[in-house]
Structure 1
Amino acid sequence: MPLAHELGSLAQEIAKEAGELARRRRTEGVAVAATKSALADIVTEADREVELLIRSRLAAERPDDGFLGEESGAERGTSDITWVVDPIDGTVNYAYGIPSYAVSIAAVAGEPEPQRWQGLAGVVFNPASGELFHAVRDGGAWLDGTRLTVNAEPTAAGALVATGFGYRPETHAGDLARLTRVMPIARDVRRIGAASLDLSFVAAGRLDAYFERGLSPWDHAAGGLLVAEAGGMVGYLPPDHHGRALIVAAGPALFEKLLSLASD
């Protein structure tokens, strides 16, 4: 079995196990463990427990690989592979009981930096819906057993676009100004609250495009590969004065226009 497919199969297996743990902990009640960058940016006890499960399972199967996780930081391995993990993407949704959260696991080769790595495999699993999005390099993007393709171009009514807003109050004005620039090409906007699902939905044609400033590598590592393998494009622009890089994902017909409008 080619390496990318082997990594993808392992990621799917672990994501489903981790997602079931997250779902079970949600039914038992959520305890907020801490805040991160801002008061609104929370981490739950389940985040930490789920990441520990993923990390221990990966270490048992592939002890030489590196790991980059939202809750436990980065650790380089002796192989060329790094696992980039968000144990519960959409933690605020999770805490409030909104069924839009996901386990995101990606395997990348090379330097563990988004513009330098090569994505090999990615999985986004929503435990609440049971949907498993997965992709391997040069093997396509899939929702369970159905191959995914981005929308060729928006309808005459405009593009269905998703975005997100940072937790820091001082960034909100810039985010809203960016959305205002994009609105002339949009039929409507979605704010789902989990970047991995936003990107998965672009890959699946449920959204035409997605853009946001301030994502971390684990937010988009798996979802970005899904978009690319579904025939879409993913681009990055340098950090703004708040240190937040911009990510844009869309089909080829819309990508350049959206990248131009979303740029500061």
Structure 2
Amino acid sequence: MVTTLATALPDRSPYVVADAAYAGKELRALPAQVTWTTRLRVDAALYDLAPPRTGRRGRPRSTGQRLPSLTALAAQVSFTPLPVRRYGKTTTVDIATVRCLWYGTFGPQPVTVILLRETTTHTRGGYDTALVTTDTLTRPTQIIHRYAARWSIEVMIEDAKQLIGVGQARNRLAHAVERTVPFGLTCQTLTMLWYATVGHTPTDVADHRDRAPWYTTKANPSTADMIGKLRRVLIATKYQVTHPDQPTPEDIHTIRLAWELNAA
């Protein structure tokens, strides 16, 4: 998929962020303009950069000396406290970088290993998170920010499975799976776009707090709030055939009260 995207956009430089599951030998064949950032495995075999050629006969070395384990490496390098923007807030963490080779995955392409240590927690092994990236020109703080940003994709996938219904599909044929999952994700995207453009009203969070007052810290609408709002708007529109425009919050509230009175 990444190769197809890079081929279609030859003048762009895509950067990919993925978890440790997406780190195999196939990454050696990536297009030159693509950079890859992933979580570094604890047992990763790291090497120094290949030494310069000496002019002697024989095949030149592909790697330098084998580097120690990440725990030993963390004890040797110097950490620098730097501010990092992650998950909607800025915190200061200790960062150390090592330029090396992860030959088993990226071959002779140089990479940067970023060791991250949370200053407010007790670290085992001398570090908390180890990242590796082929983007050797971007600052480590930006790489960490980039990696943290992928978490929104994980949340989106969970919402698609639990709220949209993608996880409840009972498909067995390959074509059915290939249609159902993309259709569910498309519906989720359309819901988000609708809510962001015309569906949002400032009172949505206050209305949710009225229905669930135990959410004392709720400050922003959730995906479930967006879906619920869309359902209420669709139902209210259905019962207002003389007013084809999108119903106002007052219209939705009136219809909801009517349902509650009928249910009582």
- In the superposition, the TM-score normalised over structure 1's length comes to 0.21
Higher gyration radius (CA): 2
Q: Identify the structure with bigger relative contact order (alpha carbons < 8 Å, sequence gap 6+).
A: 1
Q: Of Structure 1 and Structure 2, which has the larger fraction of its residues in strand? A: 1
Q: Of Structure 1 and Structure 2, which has the larger fraction of its residues in helix? A: 2
- In the superposition, the TM-score normalised over structure 2's length comes to 0.21
